[in-house]
Amino acid sequence: MGGQMQQSNAAAAASLYDQPGAAGGSFYSAGPTSDAGDAVMARWLQSAGLQHLASPLASNNMPNALMQGYGAQSTEEKQRLFKLMRNLNFNGESGSEPFTPTVQSVPADGFHSPEFRGDFGAGLLDLHAMDDTELLSEHVIPEPFEPSPFMVGSTASFDDENSLIGNKHLRGEGQADADAPAVLTAYDKEIVPRENNVAKIRVVVRKRPLNKKELSRREDDVVTVYDNALTVHEPKLKVDLTAYVEKHEFCFDAVLGEDVSNDEVYRGTVEPIIPTIFQRTKATCFAYGQTGSGKTFTMKPLPIRAAEDLLRLLHQTVYRNQRFKLWLSYFEIYGGKLFDLLCDRKKLCMREDGRQQVCIVGLQEFEVRDVQIVKDYIERGNGARSTGSTGANEESSRSHAILQLVVKKHSEKKDMRQNTDGNEAKNGKVVGKISFIDLAGSERGADTTDNDRQTRIEGAEINKSLLALKECIRALDNDKLHIPFRGSKLTEVLRDSFVGNSKTGKKSFKKWKCEEGSITKLTTSST
Ligand SMILES: Nc1ncnc2c1ncn2[C@@H]1O[C@H](COP(=O)(O)OP(=O)(O)OP(=O)(O)O)[C@@H](O)[C@H]1O
């Protein structure tokens, strides 16, 4: 599942071209280019495997050179050159005239080819998603990003072999672009400019240990976990009733064994995305799996850790004086309807504005000043959440719960005005957000025989929305132009997490027990 992160590209290029000695401060400025500029350009070209074009392009204006197909001979070279240009084009916010390639300037067979779209991702070119922030120029950081303790490669624990699963992937080892780091340190930007591409979707599977009930029944553990893959050993019977075991192998971006702690889950999935929230990213992390597989157990601590790191970043030098604030909201989708979990389950309405931005009318947002507040709100929200008992889980979540942490920028003037009506969150401009979604557990029909009517209706609604979600993810991953968002309320609400500058992390959960449903789930997640 490959994809790109435009904003990281922006940050990378901004820092490269703002270096002292780099030509003109802007790639697009015409005229003589300095040696430093040539070197930078050479590195960019090298990163796309186009080093042989370095000299003619360095001494010319690159957009024009590209328009004329300068140097690039084959279609593939032209595509690569265009992609490189496109990446740079997202950095045009430094004040220079952005280069907008016309349809004619792009090789007809290149731009529309699946390979080409695959690198940018169909959803990633949605410019509507950018309008609501209008913060680009303010976000250009004139100095390398202040190293944060949770950036890839900056902590000892991240280098620790046992510490994290996803580390290898985040560094781009083993797999190509799809596993490139979500977050770049200044060092990364210099050395590996292409690695600022991160996967659009990252799928991590966590295996939960046997619970007491299962242990007492002496049921076998049929899942073996290794590296980023797992094998399910499914006991089967031949027609002559001879027992045999069928093996099913699945590969994911990361697979977490039963001994992995919640903290390690955070460090391998959400932590690397956190700094990108300040760069207009809308990230989503959701837990998907059968009822009783451990979704709530895994999701509950993640927003707390994320809020802690977001608050720490807010206080870093680069953001301290920018009037950024962190806001929290928590709501659920139950039976196709939205309820505010922090406001007496007030019924909410979902609307799309003129720019196709999802707005949840009436949703209360609370300012987060410290982590304790987040803990309190999560407790409060979980207490208000719709739960019930199913055959597989006594305290089963019967709704999709969505907790959002939003970084907003506030202007002094507006803050003063709205302090009087107490509606401060509304006046901030969204810088970026991260949504944590604890999906309701899916159920197989065979597990629902003991359920009452209400539970079955709930189950049908849950399965329907999960199916719609699967369709959207599949369409997104296949770079389909049409993403069927309107399939359910859940996917409608998630719309802006799938388009624009978004990243989606998905955790699938594996129960130890081998069931038809488990294998279906893993097959769905791995495709
Ligand atoms: N990795 C784990 N380690 C220890 N216990 C776990 C783990 N994962 C889940 N559990 C336990 O399993 C039980 C079910 O977990 P949980 O409620 O999170 O499932 P769920 O997938 O959210 O179910 P549902 O969809 O029905 O709400 C809980 O008692 C939880 O404490």
Cβ–Cβ under 8 Å, residues 274 and 172: no
Give SS3 for 365.
coil
Which of 134, 169, 187 finishes a domain? Answer: 134
Residue 505, pLDDT score? 58
* Integer Cα distance of 335 and 456 in angstroms: 12
Cβ–Cβ under 8 Å, residues 50 and 42: no
Domain that holds residue 40: 6-134
Cα(265) to centroid(ligand 1), Å: 15
Cβ–Cβ under 8 Å, residues 49 and 76: no
The total domain count for the chain is 2
Cα(299) to centroid(ligand 1), Å: 10
Do 308 and 446 lie in one domain? The reply is: yes
User: Among 165, 213, 297, which is best to mutate for testing ligand 1, by the most ligand atoms less than 8 A from CB?
Assistant: 297
- Which atom in ligand 1 lies closest to the alpha carbon of residue 438? 22
How many CA atoms within 13 Å lie on the side-chain side of 117? 15
The answer to whether residue 337 sits within a structural domain is yes
Structure tokens at 510: 């594996």
Cα(256) to centroid(ligand 1), Å: 15
List the beta bridge partners of residue 226: 229
Do 477 and 331 lie in one domain? The reply is: yes
Q: Distance from CA of residue 359 to its chain's centroid? A: 20
Do 268 and 129 lie in one domain? The reply is: no
Residue 448, pLDDT score? 53
Structure tokens at 78: 């032209």
Residue 411, pLDDT score? 79
ipTM above 0.95, yes or no: yes
The answer to whether residue 52 sits within a structural domain is yes
List the beta bridge partners of residue 247: 233
- Token pair 């609501």: residue: 132
pLDDT in tens, 366-405: 999 999 999 999 999 988 887 665 555 555 677 889 999 9
* Integer Cα distance of 416 and 424 in angstroms: 9
Q: Whose CA is nearest to atom 12 of ligand 1?
A: 294
Residue 469, pLDDT score? 86
- H/E segment holding residue 390: none
* Integer Cα distance of 8 and 139 in angstroms: 12
The answer to whether residue 230 sits within a structural domain is no
* Integer Cα distance of 23 and 471 in angstroms: 47
Q: Which residues line ligand 1 (CB under 6 A)?
A: 208-209, 211, 289, 291-297, 390, 393, 396-397, 440-441, 509
The answer to whether residue 235 sits within a structural domain is no
Looking at residue 173, what DSSP letter applies?
-
List the beta bridge partners of residue 397: 387
Which of 76, 109, 134 finishes a domain? Answer: 134
* pLDDT less than 50: residues of the chain: 1-34, 57-70, 89-197, 419-421, 510-520, 524-527
The answer to whether residue 257 sits within a structural domain is no
- Which atom in ligand 1 lies closest to the alpha carbon of residue 509? 21
Q: Whose CA is nearest to atom 15 of ligand 1?
A: 294
Report the CATH number that the domain containing residue 379 is assigned in CATH: 3.40.850.10
* Integer Cα distance of 295 and 288 in angstroms: 7
Cα(495) to centroid(ligand 1), Å: 28
Cα(446) to centroid(ligand 1), Å: 20
Residue 174 has a CB neighbour count (10 Å cut-off) of 10
* Integer Cα distance of 527 and 522 in angstroms: 9
User: Among residues 140, 183, 197, 138, which one has the least CA distance to residue 15?
Assistant: 140
Q: Distance from CA of residue 394 to its chain's centroid? A: 31
Cα(295) to centroid(ligand 1), Å: 6
| SS percent in the chain: helix, strand, coil, step 5 | 45, 20, 35
The answer to whether residue 142 sits within a structural domain is no
* Integer Cα distance of 141 and 414 in angstroms: 24
- Token pair 């010319």: residue: 60
Cα(504) to centroid(ligand 1), Å: 22
Which of 134, 156, 189 finishes a domain? Answer: 134
* Integer Cα distance of 131 and 225 in angstroms: 43
Report residue 228: phi and psi, to 5°: -110, 30
Using CA atoms, how far residue 332 sits from 237, 301, 348, 438, 465, in Å, is 43, 18, 10, 9, 13
pLDDT in tens, 23-63: 333 333 333 344 555 565 666 566 666 666 665 544 444 44
Cα(59) to centroid(ligand 1), Å: 61
Report residue 47: phi and psi, to 5°: -65, -25
User: Among 206, 208, 332, 510, which is best to mutate for testing ligand 1, by the most ligand atoms less than 8 A from CB?
Assistant: 208
Note the helical H segments in 143-223.
156-159, 167-170, 186-191, 212-216
* Integer Cα distance of 288 and 269 in angstroms: 14
- Which atom in ligand 1 lies closest to the alpha carbon of residue 299? 18
Q: Are β-strands 502-510 and 282-288 bridged in parallel, bridged antiparallel, or unpaired?
A: parallel
- Which atom in ligand 1 lies closest to the alpha carbon of residue 293? 21
Cα(442) to centroid(ligand 1), Å: 13
Q: What is the 3-state secondary structure (H, E, C) of 252-281?
A: CCEEECCCCCHHHHHHHHCHHHHHHHHHCC
- Which atom in ligand 1 lies closest to the alpha carbon of residue 260? 1
Report residue 157: phi and psi, to 5°: -65, -30
Residue 125, pLDDT score? 27
Q: Whose CA is nearest to atom 23 of ligand 1?
A: 292
- Which atom in ligand 1 lies closest to the alpha carbon of residue 207? 1
Cβ–Cβ under 8 Å, residues 403 and 329: yes
User: Among 286, 288, 296, 302, which is best to mutate for testing ligand 1, by the most ligand atoms less than 8 A from CB?
Assistant: 296
The answer to whether residue 126 sits within a structural domain is yes
The answer to whether residue 512 sits within a structural domain is no
List the beta bridge partners of residue 359: 351
Cβ–Cβ under 8 Å, residues 208 and 510: yes
C-alpha angle with apex 330: 326 to 335, nearest 5 degrees? 155
- Which atom in ligand 1 lies closest to the alpha carbon of residue 441? 25
Residue 356, pLDDT score? 73
Cα(292) to centroid(ligand 1), Å: 5
Using CA atoms, how far residue 479 sits from 160, 496, 507, in Å, is 36, 16, 21
How many CA atoms within 13 Å lie on the side-chain side of 218? 0
